[in-house]
Each structure stands twice: as C-alpha cells, then as structure tokens.
Amino acid sequence: MYNRLPEAEQALALAPVVVTIDGKAVQCRAGDSVAAALLAAGLNECRDTAVKEVPRGPFCLMGICYDCLVMIDDQPNQQGCMIPVRSGMKIERQQGAREVLA
C-alpha cells in the first residue's frame, strides 16, 4: 500500500538506521518517524484496540488520532508518528488493553 519514492530509497542506502520491530532487525531511513518505519517495513498495524482487539494502523500521521500507539524501549502508549527512529530502538506492537502509567 505504501511505497517509498526512489530518492528516499537512495537515502536509505546511504545511512540506514537499524531498529528492532517485534524482535526483528529492520533498516530505516534516518529522519523517519516510527510509524513511517513500520509502514515502510510492510507493517500496517501498530496496535489492537483495548476492547475488541481490532487492528489499528497509522491514520493521520500528525499526532491527532492516536492510532499509531506502540511500545518503544519498553514504554507503552508512544505515538509512533511523532517519534523519530534512532539506532538500536526497540519497537513493539501493542496488543489488547494497555496498562496506564501514572
């Protein structure tokens, strides 16, 4: 569904950033948001809803809808569209109801 432009593919080859998504190493482009990295890796679902566990993916990509919530470095409820990837980042999909941290 989502594809990178050719010039974005060239930038990926020059300076890849490696993150772990659900236990797999994935190369991203420096400057990508976590949500963009997930989409570029072919992962359209970031989380499941709390009640019926329906898959949700990035929708607005500007921090309004909260459909891109993921766990980053063991911190739940992080907006993937607002956080840039960094080397060594551990990203996991959120499944089901989340614990609310105070």
State the burial class of residue 57 (Cβ atoms within 10 Å of its Cβ: 0-12, 13-18, 19+): middle
Instruction: Report if residue 26 sits inside a domain.
Output: yes
List, for residues 43-69, the tens digit of each pLDDT value: 888 887 777 878 788 888 888 988 889
Instruction: Report if residue 101 sits inside a domain.
Output: no
CA distances, 96 to each of 5, 43, 46, 73 (Å): 34, 17, 11, 18
Say which CATH number the domain at 42 has.
3.10.20.440
Instruction: Report if residue 89 sits inside a domain.
Output: yes
User: How many structural domains is the chain composed of?
Assistant: 1
Instruction: Report if residue 1 sits inside a domain.
Output: no
Q: How far is residue 9's CA from residue 71's CA, in Å, rounded to a whole number?
A: 26
Residue 16's pLDDT band, with cuts at 50, 70 and 90, is confident
Instruction: Report if residue 98 sits inside a domain.
Output: no
Q: Cα angle vertex 55, ends 51, 59, to 5°?
A: 110
- Using a pLDDT cut of 90, give the percent of the chain over it: 38
Domain of 67, in residue numbers: 6-93
The answer, as to whether pTM is greater than 0.85, is no
Average pLDDT over the chain, rounded to an integer: 84
Instruction: Report if residue 100 sits inside a domain.
Output: no
